[in-house]
Copies of this chain bind each other. A is one copy, B any other.
Amino acid sequence: MQSLRAGMAPRAAARGVMASSSRRPFTAGVPLRAAAQKPFYEGEPDGPVIKTKIPGPQSTKDIKELSEVFETRSLSLLADYTKSFGNYIADTDGNQLLDVYAQIASIPVGYNNPALAKAAASPEMVRALINRPALGNFPSHDWAEILKTGILKVAPKGLPHVFTALAGSDANELAYKAAFMHRRQQERGGYDVDFTAQELESVMNNQSPGSSQLSILSFKTSFHGRLFGSLSTTRSKPIHKLDIPAFDWPQATFPHLKYPLDKHAAENEKAEQASLEEVEHLIKTWHLPPAALIVEPIQSEGGDNHASPAFFRGLRALTKKHNVLMIVDEVQTGVGATGRFWAHEHWGLEDPPDMVTFSKKAQTAGYYYRDASLQPNRPYRQFNTWMGDPARALLFRAIIDEVHRLDLVANTAQVGGYLYEQLEALAGRYPDLIQNLRGKGQGTFIAFDSPKRDEFLARAKTEGINIGGSGATAVRLRPMLILREMHVDILINALDKVARVL
């Protein structure tokens, strides 16, 4: 898939911006390849349609009704999924917004995707829905086949096994449990060494040695979920954590890099080196020794914080040196958004991570792992009633097929490059409003900071763009994998209008 724009330098795009004052994209005059000018699926609106303020009269009425039975204080848009299609989300007032937030980064191939609709209506899906098995006890005879043609078909290199889960939080917690059991079994002297009477007794009182005095090391400004174990590793915002009891687990500083990365290479390297030293110090000294370290390839909820491949290779080396497992949390970065199927493929690791967790765009969840040594030494140690969901595994399989059929990871890499160029040009035009643009070479996983972030997000909606924030000041782009250059043009024009009035 070659793009006519592939060789275009950011500077050229920037000139385009400065010259432009119409509704045409900044790149007007530079022809896009033909494929970039039509959506992957026919039937999308030509552009956003804004008929009312949001929420409009019908939505206002419906939101009031919903608020009587469900939490609506965080509601952003009451959607009409019967009318949403492709990259566009609709409401009941006739508005259609280009959606570059995509249900908090969890819609991969568009609303009402025809291929997914077909998979969802299949007899196989119906059976999976209405005969939900306890997978640990009564898996279906075709479960191996479903795994091999789906979840395991896209297993990260070196991680051929999977333990399935329901969502990102529990995927991470199950990975933590695997890490704790692995470490304690090592300490016991091997896979086959049995528990002591003291362990069996103390654990029922939540005391050591049966309950381990170990920890999971995570990073400041990270997000790994909101259940009790995962929340203890989440360090995004106080509002996520307040009042909830937490384990006294260690956190290392995530390197605070300056953007664009290539212009601040020396100081960024220093920040990364300092972070690695802090990680090693914590591993060696924390009163509850870390059984594992968990890290996001790009800190997402925490504000789209990047680090270099060298940093992650450093983490891999440190964790191996100190016998700490390395868990990569790809819940938000996985499934194509960074222009690779898994974001950690950007790192060029020689040794793969020990575990990689996934959810969101996969529509199912779980952790991939290296080998049988990461399986508990007894059955029923890692177990729960459903242990995943075959219906959602079938859906992920259909998503994978569609991603491969349309080469959507390559598309995202390419469109992401174009999107970055256009945003760079826009930032050049509004340097006070669009700062720290980041995500170059990371597909469409792009963000920038804005001192007027919340107004920016609100105004974007009035221009027909559904977009999200992260951290304290970041605007984050989390479009679907079916975003094309034509959508980028629409997006950039809308953001230009937003910026003009802010």
Contacts and interface: CB of A to CB of B under 8 A. Distances in A.
Contact of A379 (B66, B74, B80, B121): B74
A354 to B, nearest CB: 16
Interface stretch (A26-34, A39-47, A200-208, A438-446): A200-208
Contact of A199 (B170, B228, B238): B238
A73 interface: yes
Contacts of A59: 141
Interface in A211-261: 211-215, 220, 225-230, 232, 235, 238-249, 251
A423 interface: no
B84 A131 contact: yes
Q: Which of A170, A176, A375 gathers most chain B CB within 10 Å?
A: A170
Given A199-B242, A239-B380, A243-B184, A147 B69 contact: yes
Contacts of A421: none
A130 B106 contact: no
A157 B317 CA distance: 57
Nearest to A102: B134
Contacts of A170: 166-167, 169-170, 227
Contact of A70 (B68, B113, B144): B144
Contacts of A375: 71
Contacts of A139: 66, 70, 72, 75, 78-79
A107 B131 contact: yes
A347 interface: no
A111 B131 contact: yes
Nearest to A83: B141
**Of residues A246, A249, A360, A382, which shows the largest number of chain B Cβ atoms within 10 Å of its Cβ?**
A246
Nearest to A127: B81
Nearest to A248: B206
Nearest to A195: B242
A194 B335 CA distance: 39
Nearest to A90: B141
Nearest to A238: B200
Query: So how many copies of this chain end up in the complex?
Result: 2
A457 B120 CA distance: 37
A350 interface: no
Nearest to A247: B245
Interface residues of A, number: 126
A501 to B, nearest CB: 25
A154 B42 CA distance: 42
Most buried by B among A74, A214, A383: A74
Contacts of A471: none
A43 B241 CA distance: 52
Given A138-B77, A245-B215, A385-B360, A143 B70 contact: yes
A488 to B, nearest CB: 22
A320 interface: no
Contacts of A79: 133, 138-141
Contact of A167 (B107, B131, B166): B166
A52 interface: no
B238 A129 contact: no
B210 A241 contact: yes
Most chain B CB inside 10 Å of its own CB: which residue of A73, A120, A375: A120
A276 B303 CA distance: 49
A308 interface: no
A163 B344 CA distance: 35
A71 B229 CA distance: 23
A207 B247 CA distance: 9
A116 interface: yes
A279 interface: no
Contact of A130 (B120, B140, B206, B232): B120
Given A232-B206, A248-B206, A137 B195 contact: no
11 contacts: A66-B143, A91-B141, A106-B132, A107-B131, A120-B126, A173-B228, A176-B228, A199-B238, A203-B238, A206-B246, A211-B241
Q: Which 9 A-B pairs have the closest CB atoms?
A: A228-B229, A73-B379, A206-B246, A184-B243, A66-B144, A116-B130, A211-B246, A81-B131, A74-B379
Given A71-B379, A74-B137, A226-B384, 15 more contacts: A66-B143, A69-B148, A73-B379, A81-B131, A111-B130, A166-B166, A173-B227, A200-B242, A204-B235, A204-B238, A210-B243, A215-B245, A226-B383, A245-B288, A391-B391
